[in-house]
A and B are shown apart, each in its own frame.
Chain A
Amino acid sequence: MDTIPEEQIGEIPLELSPDLDAELVEEFISDARERLEHIEQGTLALEKNIHDQAVIHSLFRAFHSFKGNASFLDFTAISQLAHTLESLLDGARENRLQINSVVVDIILKSRDTLKRFVDEVEAQITGKKPRQVVHIPTAVLKAAARHIVNNGEAPAPKVAPVATETPAATPAPSTAPATTEKKPALMPTPMPICNPVAKLKPSTYVGGTALHAVKVSTARLDGLVDLAGELLIAQSLIVQNFSSPGVNRHTIARNLEQLNRIGKELQRTAMSMRMVPIRSTFQKMHRLVRDISAQQGKDVQLVLDGEETEVDRTIVEKIGDPLMHMVRNAVDHAIETPERRVAMGKPPTGTIHLRAYHKSGNIVIEIEDDGLGINRGRILEKAVENGLLSPGEKPDDKDLLYLILRPGFSTAAVVTAISGRGVGMDVVHRNISRLRGKIDIRSVSGQGTVFTIRLPLTLAVIDGLIIRVGGQRYILPTISVRESFPPKSCQITSLPGGGELVQMRKEVIPLLRLREHFQMKEDTGCPGDGILVVIESDGKKRCLMADELVGKQEVVIKNLGEVFKTDPMVSGGAILGDGCVGLILDAAALVHLDPESDVLRRFESFDRESALDYAHSG
């Protein structure tokens, strides 16, 4: 017990301050419920496989976010418990302690306690219970968890005495009659900590899918219902047209045109229901910046721009957390204290710009601060320390900055209650990649950092270039297509030993003949006739040889039934205009296809001059 350094080990009452923003609290509650479910499922998975690092990471993050959200609303009792659990899992994450039944039990118990807090907060905020100070004991759990963290082991019998003495120290204040009644129910908490895991209650795990409900404006909904009605009318008109003789073609054509229009409108309306302005997500940041900067004695202003930008609902839901992490990082680590800023010749008030705008079919979100900038030296040190780089290795600047997106990477010197544990950026990166987005980092030491997040407008539709290869049509995402031209207008070089390169305006791009790569048997058209399409992804280019460009079309992405272990270069399918399925090719996979590196490496080892000579002669 005496080895525990933390000061906030005792019981902390939960009190809802009167000026709490009800909307924020509601968001906290719905978010918390999701995380609690996640924690429960994760813990149960962990129980089955105690070495599953992925689960440990994800539990750690769940508690971390829980802590962040709770401390943001000043729910100290909640955030302290979450903080303790986070430390516990951090220990597990770094293999300082071993997960066993005791640890699992503590996690589950804490989860239940957190759930009681959340229930209580919800009851009070919705007015089901009067606002009052609530006491839910957490000290026992915190003590048990700390004990394990400090000792690196979880000897079950030692925990029990610690635990049994604590409830006595819990005062039952007369001001909270409603909750003190619950106390007896909680008394057994310390005892089952040492129980075998087998006694844990079975979870209601239903495959990890939560029901997602959405709010849609009634106007849009009514519009959709109207359109559906119109669709039926138009359809029955056409049926009538065909069944009654003497209806001329023009009438039918007109009615079909009407049907067509309704169909398009229906699709547009349905899609628009997925779009919401990013405003609510952005405005949450105001409070965040205010609170953290006040807490740290910093002077920070947040400037929002483009809040009305409409984004797909899924994206809005999933971008909230990453943005929060990034803004938090910016205030916590990037912006300096006013004195330091003045000393550096900057205005005392730090500025964080949060921008959203549409750019070439993407939504771009930028977080710009005028703080310290990223310390490259620290990244290098840390990367060597973590074994990501070998000592003496010097990656280029871009790669170096990207290292901060790796798990467990934080250059912050101190772990604070707000951030600095290196969870932030890898979560950010993961969430954004999952949304098919990209992060760009630009940072000038001493002047600030800009994070640019590029996301697709919607997750469901892409603009595609349809190409024909053999008898099949494939879709290339237009965003990755650079240009296309007939092969006559450029030089194709065959390298000795296989592999081909295309020379185009002094650039050399590896060629991939799709028909050969797809192992198509039938041979249609002569090889010289075709079209070259240059695609680019991750800064790499590749030239594809297809038979024909068919056209451009917006396609709705569908997965391929999730049954096959498909080639990574096929990222999905889409239904084309004639009802057939077209496969969507993944530019990133095509660009990284091994022949490329082979060809380029060989090309590099080959004397450049002689390669060019070879090209001219051949």
Chain B
Amino acid sequence: MSTLLQEETASGKAAGKYLTFILNGSSYGVPILKVREIIRLLDITPIPRMPEYVRGVINLRGKIVPVIDLRMKFGLPNVATGNRTCIIVVHVTIASATKLMGLIVDALEEVYQIGAEDMEPAPEFGKGTSSGHIQNMAKVKGQLKALLNIDEIVQNDHALLPLPALPDEAGSKR
């Protein structure tokens, strides 16, 4: 789907429109085609015995959608939610199936068209940092924005591991 509007260059720089948002004062972006909708923060039902950043599940018009807190996920200090706090509902690809997931962010910014020439590959911070979460860094109006790779964030997470998505008959190994 994302290949329709976004051209993937050889260096993995996907030019296109990005929804940008604020987390702890810094700016981040996700490809607009990954975004399904943006909703206000509503009541979240926590799931017991899950990591803290997994805030729980919400009812999105009859569909249950899990929500993670990006602040906690990125190890940023926790703050009380303000009136600009919202949930970005995105499509994520887990085990080659597309699922919905909510991301709690501090505030939304704008939708920017970002060209490949404005992008830089994610910096290497050496061992111990997971720069795989960041696809690219983009410069927009002199400001640096981290373009996130949502699938990567979800994929490399022990709590958010893919469930066996095999067809019924074949997945019967016990």
Please, how many angstroms separate the alpha-carbon atoms of A209 and B166 in the complex? 10
- How many residues of A sit at the interface, in one of the four size bands? 35 or more
Could you tell me if B48 and A570 are in contact, using CB atoms closer than 8 angstroms? Answer: yes
Please, how many angstroms separate the alpha-carbon atoms of A565 and B161 in the complex? 6
Partner of B49, one of A53, A57, A562, A567: A567
Could you tell me if B64 and A559 are in contact, using CB atoms closer than 8 angstroms? Answer: yes
Determine the chain B residues whose CB is within 8 A of the CB of A62 once the complex forms: 169
Could you tell me if A565 and B160 are in contact, using CB atoms closer than 8 angstroms? Answer: yes
Complex: chain B residue closest to A38, CB-CB: B169
Determine the chain A residues whose CB is within 8 A of the CB of B57 once the complex forms: 560-561, 573, 581, 583
Bitwise, B148-165 to A at CB < 8 A (1) or not (0) is 000000100011110100
A472-B46, A517-B48, A583-B45 known; A563-B101 Cβ under 8 A: yes
Could you tell me if B45 and A54 are in contact, using CB atoms closer than 8 angstroms? Answer: no
Could you tell me if A581 and B48 are in contact, using CB atoms closer than 8 angstroms? Answer: no
Give chain A interface residues in 43-93, CB to chain B under 8 Å: 45, 52-55, 57-58, 61-62
Asked whether any CB of chain A lies closer than 8 Å to the CB of B94, the reply is: yes
Complex: chain A residue closest to B172, CB-CB: A54
Asked whether any CB of chain A lies closer than 8 Å to the CB of B168, the reply is: yes
Could you tell me if B45 and A565 are in contact, using CB atoms closer than 8 angstroms? Answer: no
Could you tell me if B163 and A58 are in contact, using CB atoms closer than 8 angstroms? Answer: no
Give chain B interface residues in 24-61, CB to chain A under 8 Å: 43, 45-50, 54, 56-59
Please, how many angstroms separate the alpha-carbon atoms of A342 and B71 in the complex? 79
Give chain A interface residues in 565-583, CB to chain B under 8 Å: 565-567, 570, 573, 575, 579-583
Could you tell me if A563 and B66 are in contact, using CB atoms closer than 8 angstroms? Answer: yes
Determine the chain B residues whose CB is within 8 A of the CB of A566 once the complex forms: 47, 50
Please, how many angstroms separate the alpha-carbon atoms of A57 and B97 in the complex? 25
Could you tell me if B99 and A563 are in contact, using CB atoms closer than 8 angstroms? Answer: yes
A58-B169, A581-B58 known; A561-B48 Cβ under 8 A: no
Bitwise, A372-408 to B at CB < 8 A (1) or not (0) is 0000000000000000000000000000000000000
Please, how many angstroms separate the alpha-carbon atoms of A58 and B168 in the complex? 10
Asked whether any CB of chain A lies closer than 8 Å to the CB of B62, the reply is: yes
Could you tell me if B64 and A581 are in contact, using CB atoms closer than 8 angstroms? Answer: yes
Could you tell me if A57 and B172 are in contact, using CB atoms closer than 8 angstroms? Answer: yes
Please, how many angstroms separate the alpha-carbon atoms of A558 and B58 in the complex? 12
Please, how many angstroms separate the alpha-carbon atoms of A566 and B58 in the complex? 15
Partner of A434, one of B45, B47, B168: B168
Determine the chain B residues whose CB is within 8 A of the CB of A434 once the complex forms: 168
Determine the chain A residues whose CB is within 8 A of the CB of B99 once the complex forms: 561-563
B107–chain A nearest beta-carbon distance, Å: 24
Please, how many angstroms separate the alpha-carbon atoms of A582 and B57 in the complex? 9
A53-B173, A208-B167, A562-B99 known; A580-B63 Cβ under 8 A: no
Could you tell me if A561 and B101 are in contact, using CB atoms closer than 8 angstroms? Answer: yes
Could you tell me if B54 and A564 are in contact, using CB atoms closer than 8 angstroms? Answer: yes
Complex: chain A residue closest to B96, CB-CB: A207
B165–chain A nearest beta-carbon distance, Å: 8
Give chain B interface residues in 115-174, CB to chain A under 8 Å: 154, 158-161, 163, 166-173
Across the A-B interface, give the 8 residue pairs with the lowest CB-CB distance, nearest first.
Answer: A208-B167, A518-B48, A54-B173, A581-B45, A58-B169, A561-B66, A573-B64, A563-B66
* Chain A interface residues (CB < 8 Å from chain B): 38, 41-42, 45, 52-55, 57-58, 61-62, 207-209, 430, 434, 472, 517-520, 558-567, 570, 573, 575, 579-583
* Chain B interface residues (CB < 8 Å from chain A): 43, 45-50, 54, 56-59, 62-66, 92, 94, 96-97, 99-101, 154, 158-161, 163, 166-173
Q: Could you give 13 example pairs across A and B, Cβ below 8 Å? A: A42-B169, A45-B170, A52-B170, A58-B169, A207-B167, A208-B167, A209-B167, A518-B48, A519-B49, A560-B64, A562-B99, A564-B160, A573-B45
For the complex with contacts A472-B46, A517-B48, A566-B47, 12 further pairs of A-B residues with Cβ separation under 8 Å are A38-B167, A45-B170, A54-B170, A207-B96, A208-B168, A430-B172, A472-B45, A563-B160, A564-B54, A566-B50, A573-B57, A575-B62
